[in-house]
């Protein structure tokens, strides 16, 4: 085991090491932590139950404010239909996420999750920290109370969305109405303590500094030291189209691979790092497997949020398998907890 990177070392590596040096170090760490020549992926679909959102984040092209004519809420029936389609395609989990919709209370989710669990053998990976925080405020409950109720209704794990960059400076500019960095970490801490595991994300390539990227990673690492609740980390780059920040040029290929590599190196206590083909396309996602990633993410039969912002990549299960195989590694379908289900 190599010694842990300090803040200074991490920043120096991130800014000064050339792409090959950084890649080699991240790749070495990947093989230490995940020694089997395997790349996993999950078959799932995103279900974005509503796009109505009171948060109004500057980087988002998906949301519509309450009262907007293009706002929608999916009915339970529509959601069940989507789950049935997913199960037919050997899907094992749904990623259920949406806007901060003032019309949807905790009971709407409790009932939904109960109905889903009653009828379908499917893992519910749902409600990122901003949604949980919003529900707590709306209901006048503590975060823990909300989590306990959601868990008993059927919530299995929590997606790591809404982390963006865990810096109050960045958040004040990008998403002032969204849960703070501190609040995001609190939701995750509470969830982990209740036995609800989660992933964590980072959205970079927007207005953040290099120092803030390292800060983000250190905050995740610190919480993980205490809870061990994070299963995976997913760095992905801001997609500017159709957002209020459309004049920001998004992270390029080198920046993405560097951010991925430094994530692998700093987060020595998070087992899995996901490549993001949704934001990078198949080619760069495949290269990510040499820069620290050991997971290809999911098939995402449906994805709406990033697509609204101009990322139009699509990948079938077959294509994911082909991409992994052509690196000489073995593709494995996994479940939400990274247990292996099927080899290809």
Partner 1 sequence: MKILSIGKKKMREKIKEKVKAGERLNEQEALFLFEQNDLLWLGSLANLVKERISGNQVFFNLNRHINPTNYCKNRCRFCAFSASFGDKHGYQLSLDQISEIAEQTGDIYEFHIVGGLHPEWDFNYYLQILKLLKQKKPTALLQAYTAVEIDHFSKISGLSLKQTIAELSSAGLNAVPGGGAEIFAKEVREKICPEKISAEQWLSVHRALHQAGIQSNATMLYGHIEKYEHRVDHLKRLRELQEQTKGFASFIPLAFHPKNTRLEHPYYTTGLDDLKTIAVARTYLDNFPHIKAFWIMLGVKLAQVSLWFGADDFDGTVEEEKITHMAGALTPSGLSRAELVALIRSAGREPVERDTLYQVKRIW
Q: x/- string (CB under 8 A) for partner 1, residues 16-55? A: --xxx--xx--x---x---x-x------------------
Which of 201, 286, 298, 333 is the binder for partner 1 (CB under 8 A)? 286
- What is the DSSP annotation of 16-84? HS-HHHHHHHHHHHHHHHS-SSEEEEE-EEEEE-B-B-S---TT-SS-B-TT-TT--B--HHHHHHHHH
Query: Under rule CB under 8 A, how many of the chain's residues touch partner 1?
Result: 30
Shortest Å distance, C-beta 296 to partner 1 = 13
Nearer to partner 1, 162 or 205 (CB): 205
Q: Which residue has the tokens 């053998």?
A: 121
Buried b / exposed e over 120-158, threshold 16 CB at 10 Å, is eebbbbbbbbbbbbbbbebeeeebbebbbbbbebbbbbb
Q: Is 257 left (phi over 0), alpha (psi -120 to 50) or beta?
A: alpha
Which of 55, 97, 243, 323 is the binder for partner 1 (CB under 8 A)? 323
Q: Is 3 in the site for partner 1 (CB under 8 A)?
A: no
Nearest to 240 by CA among 204, 211, 264, 276: 204
DSSP state of 87: H
Q: Is 2 in the site for partner 1 (CB under 8 A)?
A: no
Which of 139, 282, 304, 344 is the binder for partner 1 (CB under 8 A)? 282
Shortest Å distance, C-beta 324 to partner 1 = 10
Nearer to partner 1, 2 or 172 (CB): 2
Q: Is 102 in the site for partner 1 (CB under 8 A)?
A: no
Stretch of 46-54, 213-221, 248-256, 299-307 lying at the interface with partner 1 (CB under 8 A): 248-256
Nearer to partner 1, 86 or 257 (CB): 257
Which of 84, 114, 252, 341 is the binder for partner 1 (CB under 8 A)? 252
Q: Three-state DSSP class for 1?
A: coil
Q: Is 322 in the site for partner 1 (CB under 8 A)?
A: yes
**Token code pair at residue 94:** 């749904």
Shortest Å distance, C-beta 231 to partner 1 = 23
Nearer to partner 1, 43 or 285 (CB): 285
Q: Is 283 in the site for partner 1 (CB under 8 A)?
A: yes
Stretch of 99-107, 171-179, 239-247, 254-262 lying at the interface with partner 1 (CB under 8 A): 254-262
Which of 56, 65, 71, 281 is the binder for partner 1 (CB under 8 A)? 281
Environment class of residue 117 by beta-carbon count within 10 Å: exposed (0-12), middle (13-18) or buried (19+)?
A: middle
Q: Is 284 in the site for partner 1 (CB under 8 A)?
A: yes
* H-helix or E-strand spanning residue 237: strand 230-237
d(CA 262, CA 194): 30
Which of 67, 69, 195, 328 is the binder for partner 1 (CB under 8 A)? 328
Interior angle at CA 2, CA 256 and CA 257, nearest 5: 5
Shortest Å distance, C-beta 255 to partner 1 = 6
d(CA 238, CA 229): 25
- What is the DSSP annotation of 172-235? HHH-TTSPPHHHHHHHHHHHHHTT--EEEEEEESSS--HHHHHHHHHHHHHHHHHH--EEEEEE
**Residues forming the site for partner 1 (CB under 8 A):** 18-20, 23-24, 27, 31, 35, 37, 249, 252-257, 280-287, 290, 322-323, 326-328
């Amino acid at each position: 085991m190599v010694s842990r990177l300090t803040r200074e070392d991490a920043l120096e590596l991130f800014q000064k090491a050339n792409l090959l040096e950084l890649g080699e170090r991240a790749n070495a760490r990947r093989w230490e932590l995940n020694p089997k020549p395997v790349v996993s992926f999950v078959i799932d679909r995103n279900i974005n139950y509503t796009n109505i959102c009171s948060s109004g984040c500057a980087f988002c092209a998906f949301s519509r404010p309450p009262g907007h004519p293009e706002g929608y809420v999916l009915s339970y029936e529509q959601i069940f239909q989507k789950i049935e389609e997913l199960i037919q395609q050997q899907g094992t989990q749904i990623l259920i996420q949406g806007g901060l919709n003032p019309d949807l209370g905790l009971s709407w989710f409790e009932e939904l999750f109960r109905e889903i669990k009653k009828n379908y053998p499917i893992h519910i990976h749902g409600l990122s920290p901003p949604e949980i925080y919003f529900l707590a405020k709306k209901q006048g409950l503590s975060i823990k109370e909300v989590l306990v109720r959601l868990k008993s209704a059927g919530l299995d794990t929590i997606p790591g969305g809404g982390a963006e960059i865990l810096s109050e400076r960045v958040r004040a500019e990008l998403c002032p109405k969204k849960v703070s960095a501190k609040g995001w970490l609190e939701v995750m801490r509470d969830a982990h303590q209740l036995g609800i595991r989660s992933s964590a994300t980072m959205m970079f390539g927007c207005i953040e500094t290099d120092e803030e990227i390292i800060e983000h990673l250190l905050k995740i690492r610190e919480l993980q030291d205490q809870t061990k609740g994070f299963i995976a980390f997913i760095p992905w780059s801001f997609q500017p189209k159709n957002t209020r920040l459309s004049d920001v040029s998004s992270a390029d290929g080198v920046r993405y691979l560097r951010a991925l590599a430094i994530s692998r190196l700093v987060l020595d206590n998070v087992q899995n790092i996901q490549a993001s083909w949704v934001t990078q396309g198949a080619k760069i996602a495949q290269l990510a497997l040499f820069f620290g990633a050991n997971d290809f993410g999911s098939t995402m039969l449906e994805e709406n949020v990033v697509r609204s912002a101009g990322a139009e990549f699509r990948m079938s299960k077959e294509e994911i398998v082909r991409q992994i195989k052509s690196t000489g590694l073995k593709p494995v379908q996994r479940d939400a907890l990274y247990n292996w289900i099927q080899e290809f």
